[in-house]
Amino acid sequence: MILLEHYLIVASLLFCLGLLGVLFRRNALIVFMSIELMLNAGNLVFVAFSRFFGRMDGQVLAFFIIALAAAEVSVGLAIIVVMFRKRGTIDINEASLMKG
Amino acid sequence: MGDPIFFYLFATIVIGGAIGVVFLSNPLSSALSLIFSLAGLAGLFVLLQAHFLAAIQVLVYAGAVMVLFIFVIMMLNLEDCKKHLKVSFASLIGFVIALNLAIVLVMHVSAPLFDDGVSDKTFGTIEGVGQLMLTRYLIPFEIVSLLLTIAIVGAVILAKKDNPKETT
Amino acid sequence: MDILIFILKIVIPPVLVLNFIPLMIWFERKGSAYIQERRGPNRAHILGIRLGGIIHNFADVIKLITKEDIIPANVNRLYFIGAPLIAIFVGIVTIAVVPLADSVQIGEKLVHIQVADLNVGILYVFAISSLGVYSVLLAGWSSNNKYSLLGGLRAASQMVSYELALGLTVVGLFMLAESASVSEIVRHQGPHVLHWNFVQQPLAFIIFWIAVFAETNRTPFDLPEGESEIVAGYHTEYSSMKFALFFMAEYAHMVVAAALITALFFGGWQVPFLTTLDLKTQAPFYLYVTVLTVSFIALFFGLLLLSQFKKGKYRDARDYEVLVFGIPLFLLALAGGGSAIFTGPWALPEWGRVLFAALVQATSFGIKMTFFAFFFIWIRWTLPRFRYDQVMNFGWKGMLPLALLNIVVTGVVLLWKGNHHG
């Protein structure tokens, strides 16, 4: 029997892996992907609770998160492309200087 | 709730894919394992009877967002970043923090049984979610669409070449 | 019984798609030949039987399997091998939600003649087919070849751009059918030809059709493999069976696209002017008419083939090919037509009527689908290729606004109608 807590455990593991990616990796693209992982952990929690309470509000919120992630990725990737053009690298340690 | 086998299968795919994202050195491999992870998540959504959301998950994430990622990876022609996988002090701290959080979260998750009797026939279908989205959540819905428009404009302006001659 | 239905549902759709592939290749060969005033393939034969060139497919298969399978040095083998597998997988799996006939009542169970009647229907199709872009991207990237990479990038941007227009056109259909399930959309169209969606939603139909060409990478949108510019695009480095998988996937995509066009815009399994109930109740009469018609056609072709017989034309077994097919056709026509005329309309049991109705509907679906599949080839050998900037401009500045316009107009019309009738 699969319970709500199983889903929550999967979601929390997913979130922690995403966090680890953000802290651990220095490649801006992979940091971005890790943020996606964290957003999706949130999605999973929303959907699991929506199933648990028998209400679809959680699914609507998860839908908004997906749209939000799409918007975030389109801008973020544009920033990464610009950064690569300007500096020739996408290492986020290199992006710590506020120079044009 | 469906077969537990499916839950464990999809959960393994999700977690395995996520591990791949974090620990694979090649950005393209990371992106592909992220696709696996997201597809597994769509499977979990199906088990949770969120069919519409599962389809949207695959359609938007696997079909559009990740294509964009791979497109950028291919365009920038990135080489392996093995040197970034070296363990440094900062990354050790990252490990500790993430592990700590994982332990705290997993230990404190405790939830009662599923109430298996979802009486609503439209639960998780396009009709049900759409109805809710355009009534109670109409204003957030409109805001999100506005946000998407802003994001498109922003992305175009950011990625435009600086040379004004080329932008015509 | 349940297990039998289960197995049939698993086996039939892939077999259907895979068997359409050689037919499509034959269409391509012969169609292109006749469009260019050539004869096309007519040499390969087994014991003199050529089937108008279909036997060439067997020769192709033997060639492709026995060719050396080259994997270039310095490629990522996993992605290189995985790419064609994704392509063929996506091509076949998409057919799962397309109904081949009306649902059939067997005992107390309602059996859908489709793998899964999903509520999200069309969204499933888009979700799966959007995965197809990865095969092209991975093939292009992992080949380690600049032409492959260019092809892959072209394919990715093209497919993502046209998917938008493709996705937006079907919103109009959702509004009409009040459902996203494919079987519901088919059922809503009804048997009347003027109620089919290509009449109700002409703009959506045209946009969908064009976008499907772009999604399947067929001419005039075959820039990802534009051979005059980038060698062969994303499959430049592929050989042997891996190339064959890409080749098969292209045709599988076309077959599925034709099936979707049929289901969404041309009434799917609907037989023009005949409802399922008509077909069932009048089954003996329609069976009688069908047998007579088929017998007549068989008689015509049998006699045509027999008249082609000329001894010593090739001086080998090929001489007798026309007889091998002509005589059985002629005999079949005589037997079928004769028994139909003399024993008259037969009384059919209940299951016979149901089976007959389902078969006629599946045939109707098959004929429409074959026509649209052929149309892909027709277009390919008629139109030249677009330039890349034209493709992008057309997709973003032409198709997308038109698809949005279609949604608005459909909504306004439905609202106006609703106000006047209810």
Q: Is residue B117's pLDDT more than 70?
A: no
Q: Is residue B21 part of a domain?
A: yes
Q: For chain A, state the CA radius of gyration.
A: 17
Q: Residue C70 in 3-state DSSP?
A: coil
User: Do C48 and C318 contact (CB within 8 A), yes or no?
Assistant: yes
> Which pLDDT does position C276 carry in this prediction?
77
Q: Is residue C142 part of a domain?
A: yes
Which range among B161-165, C215-219, C282-286 shows the weakest confidence by mean pLDDT? B161-165
Q: Is residue B23's pLDDT more than 60?
A: yes
Name the band, by pLDDT with cuts 50, 70 and 90, for residue C422.
low
Q: How many domains does chain C have?
A: 2
Q: For chain B, state the CA radius of gyration.
A: 21
Chains A and B touching, counted as 3 or more CB pairs less than 8 Å apart: yes
Residues C415, C342, single domain; the answer is no
Residues C44, C161, single domain; the answer is yes
> Which pLDDT does position B168 carry in this prediction?
40
Residues C416, C297, single domain; the answer is no
Which range among B120-124, C26-30, C34-38, C375-379 shows the weakest confidence by mean pLDDT? B120-124
Mean pLDDT of A45-62: 85
The token pair at A28 is: 């801006």
The token pair at A74 is: 């389109």
Residues C303, C387, single domain; the answer is no
Partners of residue A17 in chain B, C-beta under 8 Å: 15, 18-19, 21-22, 98
Rounded to 5°, the CA angle C328-C333-C337 comes to 155
> Which pLDDT does position C405 carry in this prediction?
92
Residues C186, C147, single domain; the answer is yes
Q: Is residue B164 part of a domain?
A: no
Residues C96, C229, single domain; the answer is yes
Phi, psi of C111 (to 5 degrees): -100, 125
Q: Is residue B128's pLDDT more than 60?
A: yes
Chains B and C touching, counted as 3 or more CB pairs less than 8 Å apart: yes
* B78·A27 Cβ contact <8 A: yes
Residues C157, C259, single domain; the answer is yes
Where a domain ends, among C327, C348, C369? C348
Q: Is residue B165's pLDDT more than 80?
A: no
Q: Is residue B152 part of a domain?
A: no
Nearest-Cα distance to chain A for B122, in Å, is 10
Mean pLDDT of B53-69: 86
Where a domain ends, among C305, C329, C348? C348
Mean pLDDT of chain B: 79
Q: Is residue B115 part of a domain?
A: yes
Nearest to A33 among B30, B136, B137 (CB): B30
Segment (H or E) for C94: none
CATH of domain A4-96: 1.10.287.3510
Which residues does A2 contact at the CB level (< 8 Å), separation at least 6? B1, B2, B4, B7, B47, B114
Residue written as token pair 């069919």: B51
Nearest to C163 among B56, B63, B71 (CB): B63
For residue A17, give the nearest of A43, A39, A46 by alpha carbon: A39
Task: Tell me which DSSP letter residue C319 carries.
Answer: G
Across the strands, what pairs with C49?
A: C46
Q: Is residue C119's pLDDT more than 80?
A: no
The token pair at C205 is: 């139909």
pLDDT tens sequence across C198-248: 888 888 889 998 888 888 887 788 777 766 777 777 778 888 788 888 888
Mean pLDDT of C287-311: 82
For residue A36, give the nearest of C4, B140, B41 by alpha carbon: B41
Q: Is residue C370 part of a domain?
A: yes
> Which pLDDT does position C244 carry in this prediction?
86
Q: Is residue C275 part of a domain?
A: no
Mean pLDDT of chain A: 83
Residues C301, C207, single domain; the answer is no
Which range among B62-66, B135-139, C210-214, C348-352 shows the weakest confidence by mean pLDDT? C348-352
The token pair at A55 is: 């209400």
Q: Is residue B100's pLDDT more than 80?
A: no
Where a domain ends, among C329, C348, C367? C348
Across the strands, what pairs with C109?
A: C106
> Which pLDDT does position A98 carry in this prediction?
60
Q: Scanning every residue of chain C, which has its alpha carbon at the shortest distance from the alpha carbon of B35?
A: C131
- Whether the CB of B62 is below 8 Å from some CB of chain C: the reply is yes
What CATH number is associated with residue B9? 1.20.120.1200
- Percent of chain B exceeding pLDDT 90 equals 11
- Whether the CB of A47 is below 8 Å from some CB of chain B: the reply is yes
- Whether the CB of B146 is below 8 Å from some CB of chain A: the reply is no
- Which range marks the domain in which residue B84 is found? 4-136
Q: Is residue B155 part of a domain?
A: no
> Which pLDDT does position B87 carry in this prediction?
62
Partners of residue A15 in chain B, C-beta under 8 Å: 101, 105
Q: How many domains does chain B have?
A: 1
Nearest-Cα distance to chain B for C112, in Å, is 19
Where is pLDDT greater, at C320 or A61? Answer: A61
Residues C138, C244, single domain; the answer is yes
> Which pLDDT does position B92 carry in this prediction?
76
Residues C323, C238, single domain; the answer is no
Phi, psi of C382 (to 5 degrees): -115, -40
